[in-house]
Structure 1
Amino acid sequence: MRFKRTLVAALVSFTCLAGTGAAAAGAAVSDEQIAVTTPPAGSKAWTKDASLGVAFPNPATATASQVAAFFAGLTPAEQQKLVAEYPLVVGNFDGAPLALRYQANRLAMQQELDRLRQDDPKAVGQIAMLTTLLEPGHQVLAFDPRSRGLVAEVFGDLATAEKIAVLVPGSDMDLSHFGKAQTAAQALRSEEASVSPGTTTATIAWADYVTPVGLGADAATGRLADAAAPRLTSLLAGLALTTRPNAAPSLFCHSYGSVVCGKAAPSLTTGVTDMVVLGSPGMDVDSAAGLGAGVRLWATVRNGSDWIGNVPYLEIGGLGHGPDPTGPTFGSHLISSTGAQGHNGYFAPGTASLRNFADIALGAYDDVTT
């Protein structure tokens, strides 16, 4: 245990000394985060509910297929009853109809906003984001107020999109800071529209897991990613039943999000998935081959001002995330990021990285610049 603590301190100290600006400022060892691995509030009452004369799928164990079959067997009135009584359960059930999830999450967010305004008015970041998400036009696919707030938002029409992209953010992402994920998802969809105006697209800003805070022990281990990976694979299983894209959704995995994607990769079974990593500290695998045959891996070349390049690419005793995905022997398809600045600048308009992301999401592989 003492060795692990020493190694964590060494990794963090190295990053602090080598990084610059916001990276160094945020690199202090942070409080350990508690992963969300249990069903949302209301699940216990849901599983005991016999009011409809049928067994309700268990939120802890049901597959997306079982969830989809359950909701398909309900009348519209029965569906509305469940939305009203169990908004957090319905809103987070992968496989449930999209429109019901949006409606349920809107109700759950309003309830949480009312609670915060009354009991925790100093939670200004969460209050501000919930107020924004409750404005007309927002489509929230997942919401859970636990931890620092989990959320996923859809841009575009998932039900009709020919191409779907899922953005998996990294450390420090939560409800209060969700605006960064929204901006990236909107930038990608806008770039896709510019490249191929006739293609219907949808992007999902998926911050539906507990992320590390700063660059402490959580960021140096895969513990939170282990908890997040099943949530990501469940999302994709639900999308396979409730959407109809002409290819599996593309995954864009930023920073610690690439660790999540690396751990989820072997479980992906819905065709070949394009997985793009950017600002990656490693993926907890030794090479692209470790992700499985169902993944086509693209690694974004780091820009010179991205501090993540100063993080040691190693794994010792469960600390660190292994080799650099942009390394010459990792087996990735390398893509250009010309014009990008900093750790969070890869989705900036006008960058080669954003254009490449759009080409990959659209399946226009011949147009990708390497």
Structure 2
Amino acid sequence: MRKMFRRGVPVLVLSTLVATGCSFGGNEATTEMDAPPVSYVDEGESLDLDEEEDVSEGEEQEAEAPEKGEEGEGEGTEAVVEDVQRELYLIDENGLVVPQTLSLPKTESVLKQSLQYLVEGGPVTELLPNGFKAVLPAGTEVDVHLNDGVAIADFSNEFKEYDPSEEQQILQAITWTLTQFDTVEKVKLRINGYDQEMMPQNGTPIGDGVSRANGINLESNGVVDMVNSKSVTLYFLDQKGENTYYVPVTRRVGMEEDSVKVAVEELLQGPSFKSNLLTDFRNGVQLLSDPIYENGVVTLNFNESLLSQLDAKAVSDTALNMLALTLTEQEGVEQVAVQVNGEANILHESGQMTQPVSRPELVNTGSF
């Protein structure tokens, strides 16, 4: 039986999400999260990377700390530290890697700072959402170099002291945290300046680098032919009390299948019965025709079962978010437009007409 997201009704289900041995390797993971749902940013809003990340000769530059008494400040006052929103991938109490958006001090060394905030006992400690933990061992020091789209994370020896059972989650968290930035395509690891072709505990392969294509929270769905299959990352929901948040899950699908169409079909199929994840798509929702792609916009034509709000006259925000997050993981997809029975003028649950939606810059935002 499909597990549906119920608005305002607490849903606490404890079960297991089984991971496959692909890419990052296999291990079991479950999840229970505590963060608010994502909200869409205005089109064109950016991370201001040009201002915050000044990379010279392949290496991040350190930002100069503001000092007291600078021109324009009153005598004896301290410079105000500006905060920015950053997406950190943390491990929840049941083992899934989930993005959480936190406010960090603004710096030019955004890659280095992002990993420093993944260290247990470090500056992230007071910011951690309930039920989440940092992923890197206490005392780990890190430096990051960027070269032609490859972020090279160089860790101190303390990095080796992680729990072997969390090896894949740690590699995924590092990779997805760094690849949130447009300048980073993949990630390599070093320890004390030495390249690592595999993780030090269980030997999870790193090779010439890992990327989002390697997946996150890998789900076993019966596909065993790794050569003739590919990954799609889907966004489902978890709910704790009245808080709901989006969780990325990677499945293997047939290599010959259209990536956009199969991603939608897998999303409509819902989360694994072995997980406690939820969906906001009702039973019976179907695509009536193949997706249409044009100039970065994917148009999807559904049957009337998509309309679950306002007495079955409107599409839910949550369903639109799930579609946008899932499909913009596909290369070249920037926006998602939805139709019902070929009609584009359908109601949003707010009562407004739907417009093509973009991926939010940051996922699971808000206070905790």
TM-score (norm 2): 0.28
Tell me which protein shows more strand as a share of its residues: 2
Q: TM-score, normalised by structure 1?
A: 0.28
Higher relative contact order (CA 8 A, sep 6+): 2
